[in-house]
């Protein structure tokens, strides 16, 4: 089993040779997230140009940007989790014996997964509270609760992926050993 958890060294590697070949999940996530990012950029440009040239800024550009930002962050969590791209300190972990690595990764993955699931749970409850008093954005009156539920679901999926991938590796390694 190869160690796919991201370390600064590997991150450096990725930076040095950007991979233009995306996996199917990358194309879908990148497509949707990319659309959001381009929309954020376009909103700013139209808002500034509208303000100066047509004396008409876009109504609610700021709050649309906020919603898009939040969606990009939590959508991106899925992509980061799938690639196991989270930033870690690899000063000591590289020096652990190979036999220990799958157990170490399962442990750190489990802890990360648990905290993400707790975050998901709390955002879900928070979104419920916001929905309870009909919380919405100031000028466009977009309800905020659905965004909260979306983020909670993303965090939950991210947490499950983060815990599952290293556990699966550990399981495969153990069962492989059992066969020998």
Partner 1 sequence: MEHWPVGMAILVVLLFLGVPIAFALASVGLVGVVAIIGWSPSLALLGSVFFDNGRDYSLSVLPLFLMMGNFVVQSGIARELYESAYAWLRHRKGGLAIATVVACGAFSSVCGSSLATAATMTKIALPSMRRYGYPDQLSTAAIAAGGTLGILIPPSVILVFYGILTQQDIGRLFLAGLIPGVIGVIGYSIAVRLSMRFQGIDLQTESKLPLMDRIRALKSTAGALALFTFVMGGIYLGVFTPTESAGMGAAGAFVLVILKRQFSVQATLAVLFDTMKTTAMMFFILFGALTFTNYVNMSGMTQDIQSLITGLTNSPLGFIVIVLCIYLALGCVLESLSMIMLTVPVFYPIAANLGIDLIWFGIFVVMVTEISYITPPVGMNAFVLRSVVPDVRLGTIFKGLVPFVFMDVLRIALLTAFPVLVLFLT
Q: Does residue 147 contact residue 67 with C-beta atoms inside 8 Å?
A: yes
Q: Which of 2, 54, 89, 177 binds partner 1 (CB under 8 A)?
A: 89
Give me the least distance between CB of 163 and partner 1, in Å please: 11
* Token pair in block for residue 56: 């008409």
Rule CB under 8 A: say whether 27 interacts with partner 1.
yes
Rule CB under 8 A: say whether 151 interacts with partner 1.
yes
From residue 105, give the alpha-carbon distance in Å to each of 2, 152, 166: 12, 24, 6
Q: Cα–Cα–Cα angle for 85, 86, 89, nearest 5°?
A: 115
Residue whose entry in the numeric block shows the structure tokens 């979104």: 127
User: Number of residues in contact with partner 1, rule: CB under 8 A?
Assistant: 77
Cα 113–chain centre separation:
13
CA 113 – CA 1 distance, rounded (Å): 21
Rule CB under 8 A: say whether 100 interacts with partner 1.
no
Q: Taking every pair of C-alpha atoms in the chain, what is the biggest distance, in angstroms?
A: 75
Q: Which of 56, 59, 73, 171 binds partner 1 (CB under 8 A)?
A: 73
Rule CB under 8 A: say whether 30 interacts with partner 1.
yes
Give me the least distance between CB of 120 and partner 1, in Å please: 9
Rule CB under 8 A: say whether 106 interacts with partner 1.
no
CA 145 – CA 132 distance, rounded (Å): 9
The footprint of partner 1 on residues 157-176 (CB under 8 A) is none
Rule CB under 8 A: say whether 122 interacts with partner 1.
yes
- CA-based nearest residue to 132, from 143, 122, 141: 143
The footprint of partner 1 on residues 53-72 (CB under 8 A) is 62-63, 65-70, 72
Rule CB under 8 A: say whether 103 interacts with partner 1.
no
Give me the least distance between CB of 19 and partner 1, in Å please: 7
Residue whose CB is less far from partner 1, 155 or 170: 155
Rule CB under 8 A: say whether 40 interacts with partner 1.
yes
């Amino acid at each position: 089993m190869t160690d796919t958890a991201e370390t600064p060294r590997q991150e450096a590697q990725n930076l040095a040779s950007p991979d233009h070949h995306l996996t199917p999940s990358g194309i879908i996530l990148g497509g949707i997230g990319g659309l959001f990012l381009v929309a954020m950029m376009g909103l700013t440009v139209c808002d500034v140009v509208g303000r100066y040239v047509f004396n008409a800024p876009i109504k609610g550009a700021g709050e649309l940007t906020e919603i898009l930002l939040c969606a990009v962050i939590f959508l991106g969590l899925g992509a980061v989790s799938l690639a196991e791209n989270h930033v870690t300190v690899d000063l000591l972990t590289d020096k652990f014996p190979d036999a220990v690595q799958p157990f170490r990764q399962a442990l750190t993955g489990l802890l990360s997964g648990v905290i993400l699931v707790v975050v998901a749970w709390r955002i879900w409850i928070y979104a419920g509270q916001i929905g309870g008093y009909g919380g919405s954005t100031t000028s466009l009156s977009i309800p905020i609760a659905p965004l909260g539920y979306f983020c909670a679901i993303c965090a939950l999926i991210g947490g499950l992926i983060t815990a599952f991938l290293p556990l699966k590796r550990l399981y495969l390694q153990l069962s492989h050993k059992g066969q020998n």
